Amino acid sequence: MQTLKSKRGVVLLGPSLSAVSGVSTHLNVLLGSQLVCRYDLSHFQVGGEGRDEGALRRLLRLVASPFGFAAFLLWQRSGIVHLNTSLVPRAYWRDFAYLCVAKLLRRKVVNQIHGGALPGAFAANTATRFLLRRFLLSSDIVAVLSSEELRAYRAFAPPARVDLVPNAIRLTDSLSGMRGVAKNGLLRLVYVGRIARAKGLFDALAALRSLRGEGLGFSFRLAGSGPDERALRDAVNALGLQDEVHLLGPVFGEKKDRLWQESDIFIFPTESEGLPYALLESMAAGCVPLTCPVGAIPDVMQDGVHGVFVPPGDPPAIAAAIRRLAADRPALSRLSQAGRDRIAGEYTVERLAARLDKIYESLGG
């Protein structure tokens, strides 16, 4: 049995642990998992999420942070660096610098990609393709969230070691406990996540306006914050949905679990994703997802089995899906139970920790 002194050190890079972010959720899941029994996990904060800073402080942070990271590695003596990045320009170039620091200090690197563009689409020219391949090949392992990404990354950089490592959640009693069968009354809709236009929220409002005109009774609660929060509030007012739509701000812990348990349908017509934790949480709680077949979502749920797919950017399709589910509550209950079974069988934190344990072990100390 390993003692505290013999634990291998792993540095997790990512945003503030208190930020409203899927990567922050991922970091908290790892830090609360059984990995802490075998590894000395530490967190090095990168990025602007969870920080209150102006332009000058941000510039100073960007310049100084790689040097601070080098000092942190030397102080921690951790042998493994676990990057958490995505293929969007800001995150990619920022984390390229951290990868270079880690390799200069002879650390092993797990490079986990949390969505963004596929590599072929991201690398639009010869120089970008060369640098992206170096980014991937310099990583000891590249971890991706979906089978689509697995195929794309292996085709883009065949020599790279690419592995499928889906996200996972902890099945607490407050999240996955008993829930009532959907009744014939008010349909309870919910959204949990960043308030951003790309999540399809404005399309959802357009769909709900038409459903209210048909006389369908519903409530829609949105929990989270983000860059388009004010615009969304304005849209709610402009559409006259103030009585049905309520913005709650960020929610966490048992309060979030209760919100999932007290809702029937997760409204999530997103344009692009990695593997959203909100999807896993909603299904674990039996809240049926209405979403789009993007990113790793089709790996997790099947249309008509665990939830409902709609095309991105299609308010009439969203309205039609909600209308069908409202009219067939037994089907809504079947989808609810199938989703709970799916998450309990395949997407638990115990499975994620066991997978990362094997990866860390294979890299050595």
Of the pLDDT bands very low, low, confident and very high (cuts 50, 70, 90), residue 7 is confident
User: Which distant-in-sequence residues (6+ apart) come within 8 Å of 247 by Cβ?
Assistant: 195, 222, 229, 232, 233, 236
Percent of the chain with pLDDT over 70: 94
Q: Could you report the per-residue pLDDT of 211-261, keeping only the tens digit for each?
A: 999 999 999 999 999 999 999 999 999 999 999 999 999 998 899 999 999
Determine the distance from the C-alpha atom of residue 170 to the mean position of all C-alpha atoms in its chain, rounded to a whole number: 14
Give ∠ CA 46-156-162 in degrees, rounded to 5: 60
Q: What is the per-residue pLDDT for 3?
A: 47
**Residue 318, class by beta-carbon neighbours within 10 Å (0-12 exposed, 13-18 middle, 19+ buried)?**
buried
Average pLDDT, integer, range 118-138: 94
Average pLDDT, integer, range 11-15: 94
Q: Which CATH class is domain 173-346?
A: alpha beta
| Cα separation, 340 vs 306, whole angstroms | 9
Q: What is the per-residue pLDDT for 52?
A: 64
Q: What is the per-residue pLDDT for 178?
A: 75
pTM, to two decimals: 0.84
Give the largest CA-CA distance in the chain. 66
Average pLDDT, integer, range 286-314: 96
Of the pLDDT bands very low, low, confident and very high (cuts 50, 70, 90), residue 1 is very low
- Mind giving me the DSSP string for 302-359? -BTTTBEE--TT-HHHHHHHHHHHHH-HHHHHHHHHHHHHHHHHH-BHHHHHHHHHHH
Candidate from 5-9, 261-265, 324-328 with smallest mean pLDDT? 5-9
Looking at domain 4-168+348-363, which of 3.40.50.2000, 3.40.390.30, 3.30.300.90, 1.10.10.10 is its CATH number?
3.40.50.2000
Q: What is the per-residue pLDDT for 51?
A: 59
| DSSP single-letter state for residue 177 | S
Q: Could you report the per-residue pLDDT of 58-87, keeping only the tens digit for each?
A: 777 677 889 999 999 999 888 999 999 999
Q: What is the per-residue pLDDT for 64?
A: 83
Asked whether this chain's domains 4-168+348-363 and 173-346 adopt the same fold, the reply is yes
- 49 has pLDDT over 70: no
Q: What are the structural domain ranges in the chain? A: 4-168+348-363, 173-346
